Structure 1
């Protein structure tokens, strides 16, 4: 089960992406402001240059023409064409190439040294004082940026104006053109950061897989050669923990096996002596003999559990699960007949082939079937259903006994997990052994309520259909 805690990958992606976006936003804003500022200066320089061009023209004509003639020449030269004054025309070039309609965004004013106007294409609403330098004016419903100078030789005043809205529009378009590549690249950069972090954490995920699928009987150290330097210390600490855990499990397995072996001999001798005494007085020694038999059964189960835990002799082969289930039901039929219980099998697969060990799967099936019969009332049924499920096969063994509350399922699957000492004669190892056998085959064992809602318990075993090699 995966943890629902904080994800380091998502946290790093969020932090790095947020940092990149913040820096990119600051850079974009800075670039936008600087681009606007530089373009404004460029437009002001262009405005001053246009004014000086008109100054040169006036200076040249003033020496040969009277003020009236100069006014007419300037009108003919600088007056906007009629087509340039029309709004809503999407054709920017005027007919016959006589000009450009955006010429109306420029305006010119010329005065004589005594302040008499010779040319006025601006038609400003307010009277600006004739002071050299930059200023702003309002005309024709627009704001204008102006530059004024006086020719030092002729004394004529010249002013050139540009519409503010056009300057701002061009500035914004050019500024956006500068930051647009950054805005387009930003999502790609965030995706690249996420991919880079995912790739960076790939070695950690490779280290996770062996731990996730490591079985208790096959504990081995993690490969430190491919571990990132930053987590090499953690990997070495985990390897030390795995080594100590393997030693502890091995000591536990040896103790269980040794204890069971040591108990086997005295129990056998005790059973033989009780048989001799029971022949003379059966009633007196029957319960004691049954208790010794239960102890012997417990010892056998402990030995079996020890072997299963250690995976001793586990050599999978291609086996027919359908045949194993059918034979197991036949093996426990005498036990079922003594209680008047009818075992049944439903197997639509017919040939459920898996890779496993036949002896262990038979032990699992007989243990579960015997357990179901033991806890079922007389005259009831124990139903077994085998079907294909996912990449394997599931077996459900359902009885009509008292059942187990859902809250107690995990406890019942534990070792020595007998919930009611008054029911049955087992030691509480049958389900634990069966679960361990299922896990040894790469499967699982779970407890479920009956699907029909009737009292009873269903044990579900799922075994994968592993390829035979």
Structure 2
């Protein structure tokens, strides 16, 4: 009961449904009582009118009475029987039930309707004076009359018994439909990407909900402005740091070319590596700021294999340094409509991540496949992979897996995530070897509106490229 009270106090929909249901129930009860009483009284009035019509028929046709003797006729219902007798015959009654007529009705009864008790049984009696001056009584048992009146009254309640549950169902369905736009709105907001801060469409919403949506839109505008300021600050800071870091790198390169004592050389090498990591971090920060930017990009048709070749040419020295077998294993190319810088950045960060964590002598395979619902880009490596517990966290900025000695900024997968969210793509991490749970397999699904088939002359082109052992 306490749980229901809590839900009732927290849910407007439930509170509205319960209130309307109770109101319908109360109105139905009042209407049912009124209909029952009205039908009961109306049936009695019709029964009294029947007694009057019998009396008038007797008077109009100048009938005479002959009290029956012996058993009742077949089909004669004792309970609903209408009795006619001369009122003056009451004192001469030989019995006290309607089986023996006449009945002992008092002779002093006035003309009109009256209820008379005969041996504990009530009769409804109409006394009428005929045109010949004879006083007759037309009577019927009150119990039979009440039984018929109750049955008629209960039948009048049948529409209420049918209408009440129907109204409850209609009210419940109506309330649910009225609140459905709110649920749809909540689902729409919940499915938005982190960077999707465009205003919510409010024209199709009820008037009562629009002020709430307007307030949310204003909040989204403030959040977008704040995020733009933050991205601008990061980009500006990275740009400002790039020049001094470039100068430090040049000085380090000049210093590396000079003759240094062994102890100075030993101390200089960590400094040079730190300067290199700093430059890489600045470049990654600029790439992340560009990937998170919501400005419109120019999209042009691109060959995925051509993008793969460009990335492999840039990163081939690192692959040769670690003796990693890297190449494109898919023979069928796909042309996508994409921003060239975004696609190159996405693939380059994924391949660079694979090269860093794949041990020497390992293997990295790049592939592309045309699916019914889009284009599938896949990059597999033979490295240690990422545990299921860490797969959701590796997309966070500056997060790096524990137990790895590889240098990096921790922004590569964050950049990939930002690009996929902005274009409506999906990314999934899994194991290259599911049985051994080793190796990382990164799958990116580009939406269907981002691809088109290449000409037949480009199909079947072998683009597999392997690095030197």
TM-score by length of 2: 0.73
- For residues 323-347 of structure 1, the C-alpha deviation after alignment (integer angstroms, 9 at most, x for no partner) is 4345534653443233232235444
Output the aligned Cα RMSD.
Answer: 4.5
1:276 is matched with 254
For 2:50, what is the secondary structure of its paired residue? Answer: helix
1:134 is aligned to 2:138: no
2:322 is matched with 339
1:43 is matched with 43
1:107 is aligned to 2:82: yes
Structure 1: which 5+ runs fail to align? 1-5, 86-101
- For residues 415-456 of structure 1, the C-alpha deviation after alignment (integer angstroms, 9 at most, x for no partner) is 111234752121111111122122232213343344343323
2:391 to 402, 405, 409: 409
For 1:411, what is the secondary structure of its paired residue? Answer: coil
Deviates more, 1:104-113 or 1:379-388: 104-113
Higher-RCO chain (CA-CA 8 Å, sequence separation at least 6): 2
1:148 is aligned to 2:125: yes
Contact 2:425–2:446 (CA under 8 A) maintained in structure 1:
yes
2:425 is matched with 443
1:18 is matched with 18
**Alignment partners' CA distance in 2, 1:308 and 1:145:** 96
**Alignment partners' CA distance in 1, 2:53 and 2:238:** 113
| 1:47 to 1:248, Cα distance in 2 relative to 1, 3 A | closer
- For residues 356-376 of structure 1, the C-alpha deviation after alignment (integer angstroms, 9 at most, x for no partner) is 112221221122112112111
Contact 1:415–1:428 (CA under 8 A) maintained in structure 2:
yes
Contact 2:21–2:168 (CA under 8 A) maintained in structure 1:
yes
Describe how 1:64-213 pairs up with structure 2 within 5 A: 70-71=65-66, 82=74, 84=75, 105-108=80-83, 110=85, 112-117=88-93, 122-123=98-99, 130=105, 133-134=114-115, 146-150=123-127, 154=134, 157-161=137-141, 162=144, 164-177=146-159, 180=162, 184=166, 187-188=169-170, 190-198=172-180, 201=181, 213=192
| Aligned-residue offset at 1:147 | 0.5
**Alignment partners' CA distance in 1, 2:60 and 2:220:** 98
**Alignment partners' CA distance in 1, 2:104 and 2:330:** 106
| Aligned-residue offset at 1:137 | 9.1
TM-score by length of 1: 0.73
**Alignment partners' CA distance in 1, 2:93 and 2:294:** 110
The count of aligned residue pairs is 426
**Alignment partners' CA distance in 2, 1:227 and 1:155:** 78
Describe how 1:283-362 pairs up with structure 2 within 5 A: 284=265, 285-311=268-294, 314-325=297-308, 327-329=310-312, 331-347=314-330, 350-362=332-344
Deviates more, 1:360-369 or 1:149-158: 149-158
1:251 is aligned to 2:225: no
Contact 1:145–1:164 (CA under 8 A) maintained in structure 2:
no
1:90 is matched with none
Contact 2:25–2:164 (CA under 8 A) maintained in structure 1:
no
For 1:113, what is the secondary structure of its paired residue? Answer: helix
**Alignment partners' CA distance in 2, 1:353 and 1:339:** 31
**Alignment partners' CA distance in 1, 2:275 and 2:422:** 31
| Aligned-residue offset at 1:300 | 1.6
Structure 2: which 5+ runs fail to align? 1-5, 453-469
